[in-house]
């Protein structure tokens, strides 16, 4: 698969936790009560939700403020993480400046605002340059939290 064909898949990965288990659709009526209660408390204004199970965790897929949002909870109803898709223009100026300074040769293809138990808010950015795909994590001041890199599988196969 070429790099451009993989970008939509990578965009989805901004919100999905990597596990060895396949995700399964779960109806709301089959959710554990603690998961339903925790979601209702945290996202009381959300009415339409699609649920999947990934390993022992449950993932809610919904629109919030007109944006694709995913929230994950463990099977005891403990919140793990929430990610909301945003545009590059919605990134804080400090994050945009950091990208322009350190990753100016890369094209930003997807962005998300994320919160988890360790960070009240941070930003995930997918940046592509040729066959290299970076997943960048920035705090709200533009400080880099993490960088993940992946080469296009076709390029790896041809090396």
107-121 pLDDT, tens digit each = 999 999 999 988 899
Domain limits, the chain: 3-158
Q: Give the model confidence (pLDDT) of 96-145 as tens digits.
A: 999 999 999 999 999 999 999 888 999 999 999 999 999 999 999 999 99
Residue corresponding to tokens 């996202």 = 43
Question: Mean pLDDT across the chain, nearest whole number?
Answer: 84
Q: CA–CA separation, 22 vs 52, rounded Å?
A: 10
Per CATH, domain 3-158 is 3.10.450.360: yes
Q: What is the pTM of this model?
A: 0.76
Q: Is 26 helix (H, G, I), strand (E, B) or coil?
A: strand
> Average pLDDT of 12-27?
57
């Amino acid at each position: 698969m070429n790099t451009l064909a993989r970008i939509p898949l990578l965009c989805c990965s901004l919100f999905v936790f990597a596990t060895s288990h396949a995700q399964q659709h779960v109806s709301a009526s089959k959710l554990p009560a603690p998961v339903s209660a925790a979601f209702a408390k945290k996202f009381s204004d959300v009415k339409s939700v699609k649920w999947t199970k990934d390993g022992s965790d449950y993932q809610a897929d919904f629109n919030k403020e007109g944006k694709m949002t995913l929230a994950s909870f463990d099977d005891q109803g403990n919140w793990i993480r929430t990610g909301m898709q945003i545009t590059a223009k919605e990134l804080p100026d400090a994050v945009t400046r950091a990208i322009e300074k350190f990753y100016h040769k890369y094209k930003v293809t997807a962005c998300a605002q994320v919160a988890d138990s360790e960070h009240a808010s941070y930003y995930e950015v997918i940046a592509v340059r040729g066959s290299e795909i970076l997943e960048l994590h920035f705090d709200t001041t533009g400080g880099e939290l993490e960088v993940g890199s992946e080469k296009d599988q076709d390029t790896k196969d041809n090396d």
